[in-house]
Amino acid sequence: MTQNYGTVPSTLGLRSSLHTPSFSPLLPANVSAVGNNNVLPMTAPAIRIPFTGPLPPPIIVPPSARTVSGAIDALLSFLTAPPSPYLRGVDVGRNAQTVLLTGAGISVASGLSDYRGENGTYVTNKTYRPIYFHEFAKRHESRKRYWARSFVGWPGLVKAKPNLTHWAIKDIGTKGYLSSVVTQNVDSFHSFAHPELSTLELHGYLRSVVCLTCRDQVPRDEFQKSLERLNPTWAEFLARMVETGALDTDHPEEQRRKGLKLNPDGDVDLAEAPYSTFRYPSCPRCLEKPPRLKDGTLARVEVENDGAWLPTSTAGILKPAVTMFGENIDPDVKTAAEEAIDDAGRLLVLGSSLATYSAWRLVERAHKRGMPIGIINIGGVRNEPVLFGTQLEKPDAELGLRCSLNTELILPEVVRQLSALAHM
């Protein structure tokens, strides 16, 4: 399998569209701290940016999972164990299977930055601030800026492909150990790598844009072509940057050398075409047949001669089909994610520090159901003492697994050993 590790430059603010958890208050008031004094406060202020500070060092369970070979053995025990005797209020059904919850950490090997890893967005760009839904929905200026950044970042994302972790998940799924995958990632790598294993995209996906009025979707590739057509100076610039390879690096100096200059906010600002002149199309469906608004009046959808959306419009705004900060997760998706947890007997988290509330909430649900929980993530994980604090006395990998290693070092070997088991 040829791997193509396309790089998405973090300074282009693409992360605001790559990983967009909806909102992240601290622990909800009903979360209890189990046997530790190292958890976050019990109050729940409506913080809408994930916790960005350093997390406490990881707890390793079992202790042998410090090494790669120990972690491989632990994950094998975890995946192949019978249903846990501690599972509560559920039928036997698929309780021998594991549901996966994945985060940005597993896409790093595909060239996408995570948040808190070594080169994570919050680590390399201290002033990074993602766009909020209400800004995007309300302000034409915010959308111009968003789409200008996104336009430049898109070729890098198109080049990025699933990596060894995604392919190993496919194989583990084929062997029958997985019930489904819930992902926080919006890169569509899961559905690409394992279409036969069900994937729920908790925060949506970048492969489409969605109309805020009629909810119709347009493929992002098609939308990119419209942006090219409406912004010829930017299109020329982007073609030049693709040619010089300026988009293949995260390194600011190398980017500058290759002709990509960013202002201190991480925006590309072309002297001949500042992003304030950036134009984007309207929803084709709303343009063709203006919809009725909630108050019963007919919406106005106005465009320039070439199709660029005009701010005199009252409908037809296209948004990436991802959940932005300050935007709620689709209620159907939220319910489906809870069902995915309830439909399995154990939960394995890969490449997430659970800093976003929507992810933590699912892990908390699994924990309350008595599901064994495994977490493979480099560095600390929010609230891990709640999950593993009591297990330190009984470090049995069947009941819980926590290691701080790269999933790419572990999962492919687990696949090989599961294959060997099947032939014994």
| Residue pair 199/181 in contact by the 8 Å Cβ criterion | yes
Contact code string over 71-110 relative to Zn ion, x by CB under 5 A: ----------------------------------------
Taking the least distance from each CB to Zn ion, the nearer of 93 and 219 is: 219
Q: Indicate which single residue of 112, 172, 286, 349 sits in contact with Zn ion (rule: CB under 5 A).
A: 286
* Binding segment toward Zn ion, per CB under 5 A, in 49-57, 128-136, 251-259, 279-287: 279-287
Q: How far is the CB of 279 from Zn ion (least distance, A)?
A: 18
Q: How far is the CB of 292 from Zn ion (least distance, A)?
A: 12
Q: Does the annotation mark 251 as catalytic? A: no
* Contact residues for 362 (Cβ-Cβ < 8 A; gap 6+): 101, 182, 337, 338, 341, 347
* Contact residues for 101 (Cβ-Cβ < 8 A; gap 6+): 181, 182, 183, 184, 347, 348, 349, 350, 352, 359, 362, 363
| Residue pair 155/242 in contact by the 8 Å Cβ criterion | yes
Q: What is the DSSP pairing of strand 346-350 with strand 204-211? A: unpaired
Taking the least distance from each CB to Zn ion, the nearer of 127 and 312 is: 312
Q: How far is the CB of 211 from Zn ion (least distance, A)?
A: 3
Separation CA 316–CA 293 (nearest Å) = 11
Q: How far is the CB of 212 from Zn ion (least distance, A)?
A: 8
The alpha carbon of residue 126 and the mean position of all alpha carbons in its chain are separated, in whole angstroms, by 20
DSSP classification of residue 245: T
Identify the active-site residue in 203, 251, 367, 423.
203
Separation CA 276–CA 55 (nearest Å) = 38
Taking the least distance from each CB to Zn ion, the nearer of 286 and 399 is: 286
283 binds Zn ion (CB under 5 A): yes
Give the count of residues interacting with Zn ion (CB under 5 A). 7
* Binding segment toward Zn ion, per CB under 5 A, in 77-85, 113-121, 286-294, 398-406: 286-294
Separation CA 143–CA 214 (nearest Å) = 18
DSSP classification of residue 202: T
Kindly identify the residues of this chain, within the stretch 184-243, that bind Zn ion according to CB under 5 A: 211, 213-214, 216
* Binding segment toward Zn ion, per CB under 5 A, in 9-17, 241-249, 282-290, 416-424: 282-290
Q: Indicate which single residue of 15, 149, 166, 285 sits in contact with Zn ion (rule: CB under 5 A).
A: 285
299 binds Zn ion (CB under 5 A): no
Q: Give 3-state DSSP helix, strand, coil % of the chain, rounded to 5.
A: 40, 15, 45
369 binds Zn ion (CB under 5 A): no
The DSSP bridge partners found for residue 348 are: 100, 374
Residue 403 marked ligand-binding? no
* Binding segment toward Zn ion, per CB under 5 A, in 54-62, 93-101, 277-285, 347-355: 277-285
Taking the least distance from each CB to Zn ion, the nearer of 213 and 358 is: 213
319 binds Zn ion (CB under 5 A): no
Q: How far is the CB of 305 from Zn ion (least distance, A)?
A: 20
DSSP classification of residue 389: G
Taking the least distance from each CB to Zn ion, the nearer of 254 and 304 is: 304
| Residue pair 343/99 in contact by the 8 Å Cβ criterion | yes
Sheet holding 373-376, edge to edge: 199-201, 178-183, 98-102, 346-350, 373-376, 400-403
Torsion, Cα of 36, 41, 63, 424 (10° steps): 120
Q: How far is the CB of 332 from Zn ion (least distance, A)?
A: 19
Q: Which residues are catalytic?
A: 203
- Give the residue ranges of the annotated binding site for Zn(2+): 211, 214, 283, 286
- Give the residue ranges of the annotated binding site: 211, 214, 283, 286
- Contacts with Zn ion, residue ranges (CB under 5 A): 211, 213-214, 216, 283, 285-286
